[in-house]
Amino acid sequence: MALKRGLSSVGVQRSRSSGSRLRIVILFFFSILTLLVFFVGQGLYISDEDSVQSGFGKQICIILKWVLQNVDWRERLASQSIKNLFTKEVIDVVSTSTADLGPLSLDSFRKGNLSTSWKVIGVESSVADKATSQSNQKATDLKQEMSQVKEGKLPNDDHSHDMLTTTLRRQLRDNRREKHVAGLVQKDDEATVKLENAAIERSKAVDSAVLGKYNMWRKEIDNENSDSTVRLMSDQIILAKVYIIIASMKNKLDLRKELQIRLKESLHALGESTTDADLPHSASDKIKAMEKVLAKAREQLYDCKLMLGKLRAMLQASVEQVMSLKKDSMFLSQLAAKTVPNAIHCLSMRLTIEYYLLPAEKRKFPRSENLENPKLYHYALFSDNVLAASVVVNSTIMNAKDPSKHVFHLVTDKLNFGAMNMWFLLNPPGKATINVENVDEFKWLNSSYCPVLRQLETAAMKEYYFKADQPTNSGSSNLKYRNPKYLSMLNHLRFYLPQVYPKLDKILFLDDDIVVQKDLTGLWSVELHGKVNGAVETCGESFHRFDKYLNFSNPHISQNFDPNACGWAYGMNMFDLKVWRKKDITGIYHKWQNMNEDRALWKLGTLPPGLITFYGLTHPLQKSWHVLGLGYNPNVDKKEIESAAVIHYNGNMKPWLELAMTKYRSYWTKYIKYDHPYLHSCKFRNEPDYN
C-alpha cells in the first residue's frame, strides 16, 4: 500500500509542476540508495562485533532483493526526467566530472591533475604526516558518529545517514589514493637512487681504470706509478728540444748551449731504457741538472702561444714518422709472408733428392682404386708447402672416425712434386688413400682455355709484377696483390674442380693453412638445397660484404650484385660437382675473368671472382665448422677455436713463419713430429725465437 501511495503522489506532483516532480523522484531514488548503503555499511560494521543476529541479516537480504528488482524502472524514470530538464551538453559535463578517475599515475599527481578532495602528499614530510594524521582522525570521528547513531545517541534520519555514508566513502577513497600515490613516489625515489648509485659506481670504475698499452699481439698493463722516472726524463727531453728552438729564435745562445749539453746528457742516460730498472745510477743526477736549466729557460723564454705552436709541430713530425714506420712494417710483413723459411726449403730439397733416387716401382701409393669411388669422402688440397700439406692430412686423419673412407687428392707444382710424393711415401696416412699430381702436367690447362694464364702472359701484367722500379709508396695493398701466389695456377685451380676430378660428385676443398680438429664426414650429409658451394659466411654488421672486394663504381658490378651481400670464406668448402657441371660454373668464372683483364672489377686474387661466380649459389654452413682469423686477428675467442671443426690461419701470420702469433701456433704444431729425421736435420724448432 505504501508503494501505491508513493506512486500516486508522484503522479499528482507531475501534473502540478515539472520542477516539484523531479525533486520528489530524485529524493525518492537517493533515499532508497542511502538506505541501502546504510544497511550494508551497518551490516558490515556489525559483522565485526559479536552481536550479529541472524534475523537482522535476513531483513537486509529481503530489502536488497527488492531494491535490485525495482531499481531499474526508477532509474529510468529519474533519468528521463533529468533529460527533459537539462541539455545534452550539461548532462555530458556532469557525467564526465563524476566518472571514475581511472588508474592513478605518478605524472598525473605531479602535474596537479587531481580533484579538490585529494590531499597533497610527498611535498614535505611534515605536511604529509599532518595530512595522514588528519585523515586518520576523520576516519575515527566518523566511526564514532556511526556508533552513536546505532546506539541512538544521534538522530538517525535519512539526511544524517546520507551525509555520513558519503563522507565515509569519500574518506576511504582518499585514503586509498593517498596510499597509492605514496607508493608510487617511494618506488620512483628508489629507482632514482638506484640509477644514481649505478652512475657513481661507473664513474669510479672509469676513474680507477688502467688504460695500459697495446701492440699487435699482446696487451701490457702499466701500473700508474711504474717507470715514472723514464717518463719524466722523456718529458724533460721534449721540453728541452722546444726551448732550444725558442732560444735560437730569441738569440739566447748561452742558454741554448746549456740546454744542448743537458739534452745530450739525458739522451745518453736514457739510452734504450724503457723501464726504471734499466736506467743507470746517474739518471737522478741528470734529472736534477735538467730541471734546473729548464726552470731557467722557463723564466727567460716561456711564451704560451709559442710553446704550443712548437709542441704541435713536434707532434705532427712524430705522427708522420709513425706513419712512415707503419708503412715500412706493413711492407716487411708482406715481404715476410712471401718468403719460404730456410727449414721448409731445406726439407723440400732433401725430399726431392730422395724421391728421384727411388726406383719407379716404389713411387706409387697403395689403394689407387679408391681415387674415383664416389661413395668415399674426397678432399682436394692444392699446395706447394710440404709441411703445411702434411699438417692438413695428418690432422684430418687423426680426427676421423674411419680413416679408410677418406681420400686425399693433392696437387702441387713441378718444383715440389718430388718432395710432396716422398714425404707421404715415408709417412703414409694410415688406412686413408692419397694421391699427388703435378699441375704442370694438366695439358688442358693452357692459355687458350684459361683466361688467367692468358692475362699473365700480357706485357701489362708482366710489368705490374716484375718491373723493378715500381713505386713502393702507393701503399701495401699493391704489394699484397703482387704476391707470387697469384701467379701460380695452384691458386686458380679451385675453379676447375670438375675438370680435375670428372668421376666425382662431391669434394671438400681445403686450404693448406688450416688445421682439422674434428671428424668432417658430417659435411657430406649437409643438404646444400641445390646450391653449388657450401661455405661459412664471414660478414658482420658492416664488414666482409661484397663492397669490400668488388668495385661497385663499375656498372658491370653495380648492376649485377648487391653491395651488402654477405661474403664467405675459401678454406673449407663443400662443392657439389654435379650441380657445378649443370650450371657451368667454370664458364661463369671465365666470363667475369675476361671482363676483368684491366683489373677494373676487382684486384687480383681468387676470393672476389669466387664471390661473383658463386653469387646466389652458396649455402651458408654453421660457423662452428670453420673459424677464421688466426693469421691476422689476435682476438679470436679461445672457446670458438677449441669448438671449431676447422681453424684457418688466413692472413700473413702463417703458423710456419716466425711472425706467427704464438698464442695460436700450438694448434698447428701439435700435428708435427719434430723428432722426425728430416725435420731434425733441417733444424726445425717447435718454438722459434721471435725476439
Whether the Cβ atoms of residue 344 and residue 493 lie closer than 8 Å to each other: no
Mean pLDDT check: name the lowest of 33-47, 575-589, 634-648: 33-47
Whether the predicted pLDDT of 353 surpasses 80: yes
At 133, the pLDDT band (50, 70, 90 cuts) reads low
How buried is residue 80: exposed, middle or buried, by Cβ count under 10 Å (0-12/13-18/19+)? Answer: exposed
Q: What is the pLDDT of residues 558-572, one digit of tens each?
A: 999 999 899 999 999
Q: Which of 175-184, 299-308, 636-645 has the highest mean pLDDT?
A: 636-645
Lowest mean pLDDT among 14-23, 173-182, 546-555: 14-23
CB 432 within 8 A of CB 379: no
Cα-to-chain-centroid distance, residue 137? 61
Checking 307-311 for CB contacts under 8 A at 24+ apart, the result is: 307/242, 307/246, 310/242, 310/245, 310/246, 311/238, 311/242
Closest C-alpha to 259, from 366, 664, 162, 250? 250
Q: How many C-beta atoms lie closer than 10 Å to residue 613's C-beta? A: 22
pTM for the full predicted model: 0.57
Q: What's the pLDDT at 171?
A: 77
Residues 245, 251, 252, 258: is their CA dihedral positive or negative?
positive
- Residue recorded with cell 537482522: 56
Report the alpha-carbon distance of residue 659 to residue 532 in Å, rounded: 36
Pairwise pLDDT comparison (24 vs 135), residue with the higher score? 24
pLDDT of residue 425: 95
pLDDT per residue over 482-492, tens digit each? 555 666 788 89
Q: Is the pLDDT of residue 676 over 50?
A: yes
Q: What are phi and psi of 124, to 5 degrees?
A: -135, 145
Contact yes or no for 295/276 (Cβ under 8 A): no
Tell me the DSSP string of 433-476: EEEEEEGGG-TT-STTT-HHHHHHTSHHHHHHHH-TT--STT-H
Residue range 431-451: average pLDDT?
92
Residue 35 has pLDDT above 50, yes or no: yes
Least confident of 122-126, 238-242, 368-372, 491-495: 122-126
Is the confidence at residue 651, as pLDDT, over 80? yes
- Side-chain-facing half-sphere of 461: CA atoms under 13 Å: 19
Residues facing residue 574 across a β-bridge: 508, 534
Q: Which three cell numbers stand for residue 562?
A: 648487391
Three-point CA angle 656, 393, 359, nearest 5°: 100
Question: 148-167 pLDDT, tens per residue?
Answer: 544 554 444 555 556 667 77
pLDDT for position 428: 93
Per residue in 498-544, pLDDT tens?
999 999 999 999 999 999 999 999 999 999 999 999 999 988 655 67
| Partners of 523 in beta bridges | none
The predicted structure's pLDDT at residue 495: 95
Strand order in the sheet with 626-627: 514-516, 646-648, 626-627
205-226 tens-digit pLDDT: 544 433 333 333 333 344 445 6
Cα–Cα dist 73/602, whole Å: 89
Which range is most confident: 46-50, 69-73, 170-174?
A: 170-174
Q: How many C-beta neighbours within 10 Å does residue 173 have?
A: 13
pLDDT category at 34 given cuts 50, 70, 90 is low
Q: What is the pLDDT of residues 179-194, one digit of tens each?
A: 777 776 666 666 666 7
**575 pLDDT above the threshold of 60:** yes
Which CATH number does 342-467+481-682 carry? 3.90.550.10
Q: Tell me which range, 95-99, 368-372, 459-463, is most confidently predicted by mean pLDDT.
A: 368-372
Q: What is the pLDDT of residue 434?
A: 96
Q: Quick one: pLDDT at residue 603?
A: 79
- Can you count the helices (H) and strands (E) in the chain? 26, 12
DSSP string, 1-21: -HHHHHHHHHHHHHHH-HHHH
Q: Three cell numbers at 441? A: 702436367
| Grid cell in block for residue 507 | 669434394
Res. 7 pLDDT band, cuts 50 70 90: very low
Q: Which of the given ranges, 81-85, 185-189, 318-322, 426-430, has the highest pLDDT on average?
A: 426-430
CA distances from 444 to 196, 343, 440, 447, 500 (A): 75, 35, 10, 9, 10
Grid cell at residue 75:
532509474
- pLDDT at position 39: 52
pLDDT of amino acid 252:
87
Please say if the pLDDT value at position 94 is more than 50.
no
3-state secondary structure of 52: coil
Of 32-41, 381-390, 565-574, 584-593, the range with the lowest mean pLDDT is 32-41
Instruction: Please list the residue range(s) of the chain that carry CATH number 3.90.550.10.
Output: 342-467+481-682
pLDDT greater at residue 235 or residue 582? 582
Total Cβ atoms within 10 A of residue 277: 9
The pLDDT score that the predictor gives to residue 511 is 95
What pLDDT is recorded for position 313?
83
DSSP 216: S
State mean pLDDT over 267-290: 86
Give pLDDT, residue 46: 42
pLDDT of 146: 55
Sheet of strand 506-510: strand arrangement: 433-438, 406-412, 377-382, 506-510, 572-576, 533-535, 618-620
